[in-house]
Amino acid sequence: MSDEFIAFIRKIYKKKKKIFLHEPKFIGNEKKYLSQCIDSSFVSSVGKFVNKFEKKIAKFTNSKFAIATVNGTSALHVSLLLAGVKQDDEVITQSLNFVASCNAISYCNAKPIFVDVDRDTMGLSPYALKSFLVKNTFIKNKRCINAKTKKIIRACIPMHSYGHPCRIDEIKKILKKHYIFLIEDAAESLGSFYKKKHTGTFGKLGVISFNGNKIVTSGGGGCIITNNKDLAKKAKHLTTTAKLHHKWDFKHDIVGYNYRMPNLNAALLVAQLEKINGFIINKRKLANKYELFFRKTNYNFFKEPKNCKSNYWLNSIILKNKIERDKFLNKTNSNNIMTRPIWKLMNELPMFKEAQHDNLKNSRWLEERVVNIPSSVTL
């Protein structure tokens, strides 16, 4: 089967010697805006492109506010601080995950708790979440307390894996009942909708990444989206070294972070955002081609979950078992076709191996079987 796949993929990505998993596409005003930015001399964290980007992304996601950051990880870090996460608090997230949210939890000196995902979304499972909370926590003074550690579970970060929305409305309801702050990791899901509402807008705070491998990029960059004016104001303050506004003086009222996206990166991103609708159409067409192709094989192509419109950031297939998976990975990669397995479970990384977790049944099942296949825009 790998041979047929190799032939199929070479047909899609004509002329390419090496076919990458996800390459950026610069086909619009990128050079023009970058050179305008350089000519203006405002290449750092102040400038019209950063403000323009914030307006554009807020409009695109239908959020009231957007705050630009240097990357998605810093946006997660600041979101956790805004959620009130402190030393020794606990934060629930999925074990089948990119490492960024777990790192951000650690930056706050808090601890992650890992809960299972659903097989059909690869995102945090509301059933597993509810079952973990019912079995392991109690409520005291409107705080969710972990019965085992006696620590407060302050926040939860579900993720929309590879652009496929998880069951975020159910997750939201469960967290509300347990007084847990919802931060959505929508790093990979710009342009993905759950029941017609943009991912990242269900929680009080949502995070997006514009790393070079994402659907649109600023080289490095991220943002926080929110409908809460107060949180937006605090996010901007924390990400801009907590400097108080003054014509010429330097006053900082708390420990802040130098996390604001530079204007140069924002210039690239504004041009990229002008193309995003076309990119999404193109990526959804590619996913359709893959689906038709894999129908004729015994591999399962991962389709967008019900009630969702996915950006299909990375296309995935599910192989029979780990042996089949490794065979496929070896064959494709030695033929210059970049394919990658899904992430390692976070609780198996040395720094999180002590973390509390549930049985992670689906996470383990998916970890052995999922492979990501080339997904760049084909324009």
Ligand X SMILES: Cc1ncc(COP(=O)(O)O)c(C=O)c1O
**Contact stretch for ligand X (CB under 6 A) within 79-87, 96-104, 130-138, 267-275:** 96-104
Comparison of 152 and 159: residue with beta carbon closer to ligand X: 159
For residue 235, give every residue at least 6 positions away whose Cβ sits within 8 Å of its Cβ, in sequence order, or none. 65, 67, 78, 79, 82, 205, 224, 226
Choice from 89, 188, 304, 358 touching ligand X (CB under 6 A): 188
CB of 343 to ligand X, least distance (A): 9
Residue 209 in contact with ligand X, rule: CB under 6 A: yes
| Alpha helices per DSSP H over the chain | 2-12, 30-40, 48-61, 72-82, 100-107, 126-136, 168-177, 229-239, 263-273, 276-295, 322-333, 361-367
Residue 189 in contact with ligand X, rule: CB under 6 A: no
CB of 270 to ligand X, least distance (A): 17
Comparison of 50 and 144: residue with beta carbon closer to ligand X: 50
Looking at residue 241, what DSSP letter applies?
A: T
Give me the residue whose beta carbon is nearest to ligand X: 72
**Contact stretch for ligand X (CB under 6 A) within 95-103, 120-128, 135-143, 335-343:** 95-103
Residue 73 in contact with ligand X, rule: CB under 6 A: yes
Choice from 187, 264, 280, 370 touching ligand X (CB under 6 A): 187
Residue 80 in contact with ligand X, rule: CB under 6 A: no
Size of the site for ligand X (CB under 6 A): 13
Angle at 368 between CA 321 and CA 302, to 5 degrees: 85
Whole-angstrom distance, CA of residue 239 vs CA of residue 236:
5
Residues within window 225-264 making contact with ligand X, judged by CB under 6 A = none
**Contact stretch for ligand X (CB under 6 A) within 9-17, 79-87, 98-106, 339-347:** 98-106
Burial 292-313 (b: 16+ CB within 10 A, else e): ebbeeeebebbbbbeebbbbbb
Choice from 98, 181, 257, 328 touching ligand X (CB under 6 A): 98
Q: What track of x and - describes contact with ligand X for positions 18 through 57 (by CB under 6 A)?
A: ----------------------------------------
Radius of gyration of the chain (CA): 21
Residue 128 in contact with ligand X, rule: CB under 6 A: no
Return phi, psi of residue 376, to 5°: -65, 150
| Alpha helices per DSSP H over 167-253 | 168-177, 229-239
**Contact stretch for ligand X (CB under 6 A) within 97-105, 163-171, 282-290, 294-302:** 97-105
Comparison of 118 and 185: residue with beta carbon closer to ligand X: 185
Choice from 126, 222, 305, 374 touching ligand X (CB under 6 A): 222
Give residue for tokens 């998605």.
72
Query: Dihedral angle at the C-alpha atoms of 20, 24, 26, 30, nearest 10 degrees?
Result: -150
User: 63 vs 29, 54, 229, CA distance in Å?
Assistant: 25, 10, 11
Residue 126 in contact with ligand X, rule: CB under 6 A: no
Tokens of 149: 């550690």
Comparison of 96 and 129: residue with beta carbon closer to ligand X: 96
Residue 265 in contact with ligand X, rule: CB under 6 A: no
Looking at residue 353, what DSSP letter applies?
A: T
Residue 90 in contact with ligand X, rule: CB under 6 A: no
Tokens of 231: 């949180």
Exposed, middle or buried, 164 (CB in 10 Å: 0-12/13-18/19+)? Answer: buried
Comparison of 207 and 267: residue with beta carbon closer to ligand X: 207
- Give the DSSP letter string of 35-60: HHHHHHT--SS-SHHHHHHHHHHHHH
Residue 312 in contact with ligand X, rule: CB under 6 A: no
Choice from 83, 113, 155, 159 touching ligand X (CB under 6 A): 159
The sign one gets for the Cα dihedral 53, 55, 59, 61 is positive
Comparison of 76 and 144: residue with beta carbon closer to ligand X: 76
Choice from 45, 61, 63, 71 touching ligand X (CB under 6 A): 71
Residues of the shown chain interacting with ligand X in the complex, contacts defined by CB under 6 A: 71-73, 98, 100-101, 159, 185, 187-188, 209, 211, 222
